[in-house]
Structure 1
Amino acid sequence: MMKQPLEDVRILDLSRVYAAPAGSMILADLGAEVIRVEHPNGMDSTRDWGPFTNDQSTYYLCANRNKKSIILNLKEENDRQVFKELLLDADIILENFKTGDMERMGLGYEDCKKLNPRIIYCSVTGFGHTGPLATEPGFDPVIQAMSGLMDVTGAIDGDPTKVGIPIADILTSHYVAISILAAIRMRDITNEGQCIDLSLLDVQVSNLANVASSYLNGGTISKRLGNSHNNVAPYQVFQCSDGPLMVCVGNDRQFEKFCKMIDREQWAQDERFKTNTKRKENERELVEKIAEILLQKTRDEWIEQLQNFKIPGGRVNTIAEALEQPQLIARDMIGEIEHPQYGKVKFIKNPMQFSGLNIDYKLAPPILGEHTNQFFHIAADSKNG
């Protein structure tokens, strides 16, 4: 009996860097057998990005647990034949080569489909397989810039700013997992595979959410507002006596409670602040008044009151504070896995928690070619011969 939902699924993962590998890691956590197919020279640049622990890149470690690694040089005929043998028993191919590269090696979707009509072929590129930029490389900061995300991120009087994590890659990794799961379900119905064409630019633009809707439906071009909100007030970071605090007053009812909390109940009836629309119109004046009050206590003192009044708020944590906070510890979100060669590896666990499924963390991120001989002796012979 299956213990995990995808443990009968095999993925040949030719991808590198983050977006696609992080997507296959989600599927690996759900039981899929993910086989990283890597070049003998180790072409995944994240293996070379520091900082390092026990000679392993911490960047590489964050996207490659629960996987295996084999070495194949797909530009060589012998190794291509090995890949095609693996393809016969595979369910999914995941790749993020530039548009046209796989076709030039005779391993595009149409080529692979002839060998295995049930294959699901997921291709991740910067701009997709169509359009004027189809053959251009796309990296996360470029996508953040081109999507408009940077233009609405940063200080009001500052430069456009990228998000502090590779957000376009991260969002795309989720769509990798979602689209592959949908394709598997469709294959259950049709008994046929299909090709998935994922573009980082498409993904990031599709996640502009309210900012895109404001423009498409109202012609409103959102501006950089620092830690404020385009549509809601007060909804931003305030300084307390010991540091920054995020406060989100999301509606008029919450504003009434917030006014009571800070002993300014009359503001809830003030025509300047009574509705969210009016609060946005008079945001500067309102924020200045609130800022004076919140400076009088510590963050923890205000958080206790915010919790009592059921108003969303939280400390602006450093990464260390974030990863050590009691809530994450209570949720058991930090894991540790042992690798026989490079020791213990800590990681953030998969956030999906099920009532009837325990996610297993069986394999540490593999070293280059760690499992080559396990799959095909011919692969090792090809490499050495």
Structure 2
Amino acid sequence: MLDQLEAEFPEHTPRPAGAPRALDGIRVVDLSHFIAGPFATMILADMGAEVIKVEAPGRGDDLRRYPPVHPDLRHGAPFLWANRNKRSVALDLKSPEGLQVARELIATADVVVENFSAGVMARLGLDYASCRKLRPEIIYCAVSAYGRDGPFADRLGFDPIAQVESGFVSMNGYADREGVRALSPVMDISTAMMASNAILGALLARERSGLGQAIEVSLFENAVLMTGYATMQSLFNNADPKRSGNTSPDTCPSGVFLASDCSFYINCGNDKIFQRLMAQVLEREDLAAAGIYATGPDRIRRREELFAILGDAFARRPWSHWQSRMRAAGVPCGRLRSVGEAIRSPEARERGIVTRIPHETIGWVPNVNLPIRYSRTPIVDPVAAPAVGQHTEDVLRELLGYDDARIAQLAAGRAFGGRPAGKDTKP
């Protein structure tokens, strides 16, 4: 299924031997699922935290079944993308025995992350108040849809719902049709980034005060933030943003143009860039100095005629011609690429964004790295996402000191689901 990629992407280059890890010694019990929670804990894992992913036996995280699913891994590409550098422990939290093991794991942890529906963690006795009794200095991060309390706490939330209800979709697309959602789960990803940032801040605060705390990050609040400065604009002018397709309502000329062989985007974010575009790229000194195009508002008012001038000029030469001239002139530009083209681009190869990492079952899997470069505490070497319960026995022995008899007792009590746990547990 992946053989065709072997010649395209290099093996991962290991981090320097002996280099420290930013979050060395931090343990995270990850009770989250799908994207927002797991991606947040993966960021922490990449920074060197020990992340114990607690999953339902057998089935595991629902994201495992998102396609394409590799037949030998029995989980899909999206799960690999969001869950590297973790160990999986399979526990049935509906059983008293499994719940007790979870509590014992939490008692050893620095951080707990969960994104269950409202009320679930309290019913299980795993809410912040309960976990604080187990570990007073615990940092407890709850990722919710609309908050953990109030009249909307019971509402379920997924990325597309957050996109539409936040106003994000209303801003995107073309004026003559409905707004368009982003296919990428931008709200889940940005919520994960917000959660990991919040956890890092809480860890720093605890280092100074010795005190833990509860953290809450909601998908909806984050989605409103992701509408950008449109919120503040709306408050100032009492008007909603208008969909403008690939053009910018705030700068001009910014948008998609056609060279003789492909489409590309330019972004003239200020007057000087516009002047360089006209004088150095198009060799139109007259337009660069024209008073009717002197300021951004002037150009916005004359957008159609300006786009017509540019479109006519750009169509006469290939992208390679325009790219070299715009790069030399300092005009931000980029070719419209597909995802496949982007990850194979010279820029992506230069930064080592996609590599191959070892996998004990199928030899190797592709990996997409975080865009974080530490000079002293480099990101850890990536370990592929685990099978459901792959590390259950190892974790219980190492962290909790369980022996064979205790593990057998828990297995008999169905703490691990319908079958005993072990190193060979499969999804």
Q: Secondary structure at the match of 2:140?
A: strand
Distance 1:218 1:337 in 2: 51
CA distance in 1, matches of 2:120, 2:298: 55
1:50 match: secondary structure: coil
Residues 1:270 and 2:290 are matched in the alignment: yes
Q: Which amino acid aligns with 2:346?
A: P
The answer for the alignment partner of 1:127 in structure 2 is: 146
**TM-aligned CA distance change 1:108 to 1:9, over 3 Å:** same
- Compute the displacement of 1:127 (Å): 1.0
Measured in 1, the distance between the counterparts of 2:362 and 2:75 equals: 8
**56, 59, 62: which one pairs with 2:81?**
62
Match in the other structure for 1:92:
111
Q: CA deviation at 1:328?
A: 1.5
Question: Which AA in structure 1 matches 2:236?
Answer: N
Q: Which residue of 1 aligns with 2:42?
A: 25
Cα distance in 2 for partners of 1:35, 1:380 equals: 19
- Corresponding residue for 1:291? 311
| 1:343-380 per-position Cα deviation (integer Å, ceiling 9, x unaligned) | 31111111111222222224210000000000225354
Aligned residue for 1:101? 120
Deviations 1:140-163 (A, max 9, x none): 000000010100111232221011
* 1:44-91 superposed Cα distances (whole Å, 9 cap, x missing partner): 211111112343300111000000000111121111111111111101
Q: CA deviation at 1:335?
A: 2.2
The correspondence for 1:152, drawn from 171, 176, 200, is 171
SS in 2 for 1:134: coil
**Given the alignment, which residue of 252, 256, 277 partners 1:233?**
252
* Alignment TM-score, normalising by the size of structure 1: 0.96
Q: What's 1:112 paired with? A: 131
Q: What is aligned with 2:206? A: 187
CA distance in 1, matches of 2:128, 2:42: 22
Give, in whole Å, the separation in 2 of the partners of 1:228 and 1:131. 39
Corresponding residue of 2:388: 368
TM-score by length of 2: 0.87
In the other structure, the counterpart of 2:196 is 177
Query: Is the partner of 2:293 in helix, strand or coil?
Result: coil
CA distance in 2, matches of 1:92, 1:363: 21
How many residue pairs align between the two structures?
A: 385
AA matched with 1:251 = N
Distance of 1:362 and 1:285 partners within structure 2: 51
Gapped regions of structure 1 (runs ≥ 5) = none
Q: Distance in 2 between matches of 1:117 and 1:306?
A: 58
Aligned to 2:424: none
Q: 1:224 is paired with a residue of what secondary structure?
A: coil
1:10-38 Cα distance to aligned partner (Å, 9 max, x none):
00001111111111111000100001000
Sequence identity (%): 33
Q: Structure 1 residues 304-313 or 189-198, which shifts more?
A: 189-198
Distance 2:211 2:240 in 1: 44
How well do the aligned residues superpose, as a CA RMSD in angstroms? 1.5
Q: Distance in 1 between matches of 2:105 and 2:21?
A: 22
- Once residues 120 and 357 of structure 1 are traced to their aligned partners in structure 2, the CA distance between those partners, rounded to angstroms, is 23
Residue 299 of structure 2 aligns to a residue whose secondary structure is helix
Whether contact under 8 Å (2:19, 2:378) holds in the other structure is no
**In 2, distance between residues paired with 1:309 and 1:325?**
22
Contact 1:267 1:274 in 2 (8 A): no
Unaligned runs of 5+ in 2: 1-17, 397-401, 421-427
Question: Which runs of at least 4 in structure 1 moved beyond 4 Å after TM superposition?
Answer: none
